[in-house]
Structure 1
Amino acid sequence: MFDLRRLRVLRAVHHHGTVTGAAEALHLTPSAVSQQIRQLARDLGVTLLEPEGRRVRLTSGAHVLLDHADALSTRWEQAVADLAHHADGETGPLRMAGYPTGVATLLAPAAARLRGSHPGMRVAVFEAEAGECFDMLLADSADLAVVVPDPTVASPEDSRFEQRVLLEEPHDLLVPAGHPLAERERVPLAETAREDWITPGGSCSHYRVIQVACAAAGFTPRIAHWATDWIGATALVGYGMGIALVPRLLPIATEHPVVRVALDGRSVPMRSILACVRSGSAQHPTVVRGLESLAEVAAKASVAGPAAAAAPEKAVAPDPVALRPDGDRRARPVPAAEG
């Protein structure tokens, strides 16, 4: 017999390519990872790792074992889920991870819903980028993750995970108040060809979204400023330094006068927001409730926009870029009386 946790360690070494990378992902020391692999090798009577320069290489026996690893892990998750139906699912823990905007607009309201409907559940939310989210799932330090798909981290066909689309999120233009486009309800992206753009760094997935969308609209964006943080990008837009492309659910709360304008036409950039769990765990009672709560929040967000998605159930926060009674759509500070 062997310990499935050691199999998880081997999978992490295979995924990250080094013992050190696996140790960081699993929150273990490199020596602990090496010890787990050596013990797994002793349990099975095969050599699993061989040195290859400063890295390690999986042996043919290790690859044979990994061919079965996903099926073994899936069956184990299914067994745990089946057993949980015979226990008290009202009090079980649910650990949810997600990227920053996903926490603000999806996970936080979903956690609030669960606290109201199942007060005995112990819900914890972690903010993490996509790679960390998948590592947390594999390390069993998270049960559910909300991510923007990144094929460099996990492909849609990755058998270690079950991935489902929560919503398809369009992108909007962010322009300075007073800009000619600010008075328009919808704007074809091609009309921004002569504008200065504010974008994140080239290694960011959002940068690739901008490049692909502008190429589809027939132009290359003229990048004037670089800002990875949304606060900095919004400030640059507010000071009239250029325009930006922002996800629809991104909350814009700033003292700088900016206007969110919907895009029109076939080149409207979209991104999928995914809910991910370990393969085989989707029927666990607490995971089911988490997925249901997220689906409810996502449905509300896709219809009502970021303010409704991010607000608590009994107190809908004012949308800083929503239409004011006088038709002014500028983002503005919310006075204390409105808070």
Structure 2
Amino acid sequence: MFDLHRLRLLRELKHRGTLAAVAAALSYAPSSVSQQLSQLEAEVGVPLLEPVGRRVRLTEQAEILVAHTEAVLERLERAEADIATSLTELTGTLRIASFQTAALALIPTALGLLRDRHPLLRVHVTQLEPEKSLPALLARDFDLVLAEEYPGNPNPRSAELEQEDLLNDPLRLALPEPTSSTDGSGPMTVLRSLAHHPWVMEPDGTAARCWAMTMCRNAGFEPDVRFETTDLVLHLRLVEQGHAAAFLPDLVRSGQPPTVPLRQLPRGQRKRRVFTVVRRGASRHPAVLACRDALHRAVSSSATNCLPAHPETSA
């Protein structure tokens, strides 16, 4: 029978990419990881790794082993959930990763609900964008991730992860200064009016940046992106001071009244999807169920505090 610990090391290598990354994540020496994988190769009787330059990649047989390892780990996740369900008190540690606006608007309220209902549950929260948090979830660095998906830019769907919708977060065009010249104009006309104005956007490579660039290009212009940051609070501040135009989600306001002129976007582009993600097999764990329930309650609480933005025009 194959050693499960060594199988997990092989799985870690698939998700983390290098022996050094596996060693760093698990607090091992790289030589120890290499030795364990060599022993696994001896157990299996076929090569599991092949060199590619200075790195290694998994062979076809190694990929088969990893697929079976994922199934075993999913079963163990369910066993852990069943044991936790059998206990009268919810204990242990829940590790959450969340992108910034959800962390600001929802996490504090959700943490308060969890503390009141499950005082023995220890919750760790890390602010991390989905581009990094979802791979880290697969690598077992987190137990639950809050992620986002922009219109027309669906995320890759891993068979090893399970998603649950949390809310649809309205997206709006934030104007750097009040103007009456576009009052009554359609969303595309308002967007085109900002063709020569500086913009603030998230960095290249993010889903938000890809969506924002597509929005501007569909309006017929290449945006002058002078500011790049994943900090959407900074986006809002730059708009407030008249330095940039931006696309802002409602969550960035955390239920507070708008401080800048906001306009509606074209139909089909008005909401981003916000959802929670866990590894397959973990969705029934009481800590995950409690966290998801707390987040849904936080959404309801936030919604009651939200005020309407600028009167909206039709598409």
Normalising by structure 2, what TM-score? 0.81
Amino acid at match of 1:191: V
Equivalence for 2:123: 123
Equivalence for 1:268: 269
Counterpart of 1:249 in 2: which secondary structure?
Answer: helix
Equivalence for 2:82: 82
Shift of 1:125: 1.4
Equivalence for 1:222: 223
In structure 2, do the counterparts of structure 1 residues 296 and 260 end up closer, same or farther at CA, with 3 Å as the change threshold? farther
Equivalence for 1:294: 295
Q: Is the 8 A contact 2:90 2:120 kept in 1?
A: yes
Q: Do residues 109 (structure 1) and 109 (structure 2) align?
A: yes
- Mapped to 1, the partners of 2:37 and 2:166 lie a distance apart of 37
* RMSD (Å), alpha carbons: 3.5
- Mapped to 2, the partners of 1:67 and 1:119 lie a distance apart of 37
Amino acid at match of 1:159: A
- Mapped to 1, the partners of 2:9 and 2:193 lie a distance apart of 52
Q: Is the 8 A contact 2:82 2:285 kept in 1?
A: yes
- Mapped to 2, the partners of 1:148 and 1:22 lie a distance apart of 27
1:113-151 alpha-carbon deviations (Å, 9 max, x no partner): 111122222222122222442344334332111122499
Equivalence for 2:176: 176
- Mapped to 2, the partners of 1:97 and 1:30 lie a distance apart of 27
Equivalence for 1:241: 243
Amino acid at match of 2:190: E
In structure 2, do the counterparts of structure 1 residues 23 and 300 end up closer, same or farther at CA, with 3 Å as the change threshold? farther
Amino acid at match of 1:188: P
In structure 2, do the counterparts of structure 1 residues 56 and 28 end up closer, same or farther at CA, with 3 Å as the change threshold? same
Count residues with an aligned counterpart.
Answer: 304
- Mapped to 1, the partners of 2:259 and 2:177 lie a distance apart of 5
Equivalence for 1:155: 156
- Mapped to 2, the partners of 1:135 and 1:60 lie a distance apart of 21
Shift of 1:232: 4.1
- Mapped to 2, the partners of 1:26 and 1:131 lie a distance apart of 21
Unpaired runs of at least 5, structure 1: 309-318, 328-339
What's the % identity of the aligned pairs?
Answer: 31
Equivalence for 1:213: 215
Counterpart of 2:267 in 1: which secondary structure?
Answer: coil
Shift of 1:52: 2.2
Counterpart of 2:146 in 1: which secondary structure?
Answer: strand
Unpaired runs of at least 5, structure 2: 311-315
- Mapped to 2, the partners of 1:78 and 1:287 lie a distance apart of 12
In structure 2, do the counterparts of structure 1 residues 231 and 275 end up closer, same or farther at CA, with 3 Å as the change threshold? closer
Normalising by structure 1, what TM-score? 0.76
Equivalence for 2:7: 7
- Mapped to 1, the partners of 2:60 and 2:156 lie a distance apart of 24
Counterpart of 2:273 in 1: which secondary structure?
Answer: strand
Equivalence for 2:187: 188
- Mapped to 2, the partners of 1:226 and 1:295 lie a distance apart of 33
Amino acid at match of 1:286: A
Bigger Cα displacement from structure 2, 161-170 vs 236-245: 236-245
- Mapped to 2, the partners of 1:117 and 1:25 lie a distance apart of 32
- Mapped to 2, the partners of 1:121 and 1:252 lie a distance apart of 26
Counterpart of 1:259 in 2: which secondary structure?
Answer: coil
- Mapped to 1, the partners of 2:299 and 2:184 lie a distance apart of 24
In structure 2, do the counterparts of structure 1 residues 35 and 162 end up closer, same or farther at CA, with 3 Å as the change threshold? farther
